[in-house]
Amino acid sequence: MTAIDNLSGVTTGTVLEAAAVTEESEFRPMRTAEESVGMMASAEGLTSDFSTVRRCGSWRS
């Protein structure tokens, strides 16, 4: 599956879209969904304690 296949709604990529997709990997997390789900059954240590986001409380406009 190509990067473009992963983006729902993209059927005929324009030049701009095609150029942008080549940069997609920069915006990926450390693991794929399959790897993350696979790790849920393991007993590995905490990957986050939510501390950064928790310190910000909530967003209120």
Partner 1 sequence: MNVPPWLTGSVPFPAIEDWRADAALCVRQNLRAREMVTDACRSVVARLDSLPPDEMVATLLRPEVFAFVTGPGGEDGWAELQDGLAARTTRDAGSSLLWLNPTGQFTVVLRRQGRGSRRESCAAANFIDPSTAQFASCATAVESALGLIERIAPGFRAEIEKLVECVVLVDEGASFRGASGLAFRGMIMLSPEPDWTTCTFAEELVHEMTHLLLDLISIREPLLKGEQAFDEAWAAPFRPDKRPLYGNFHALMVVARLIHLFGAFERCGAEPETSWSAKAHDYAQRSAEALAALKAHGDLSAMARRLFNTLVEPTLGATLAAASTTTSSA
Least spacing, CB of residue 17 vs partner 1, in Å:
5
2 makes contact with partner 1 (CB under 8 A) = no
**R_g of the chain computed on alpha carbons:** 17
For tokens 């324009």, what's the residue? 14
Residue 6, CA atoms < 13 Å, CB-side half-sphere: 11
Report the site for partner 1 in 24-43 (rule: CB under 8 A): 24, 26-34, 36-37, 39-41, 43
Other residues' Cβ atoms within 10 Å of the Cβ of residue 59? 5
Interface contacts to partner 1, rule CB under 8 A: 3, 6-10, 16-17, 20, 23-24, 26-34, 36-37, 39-41, 43-50, 52-61
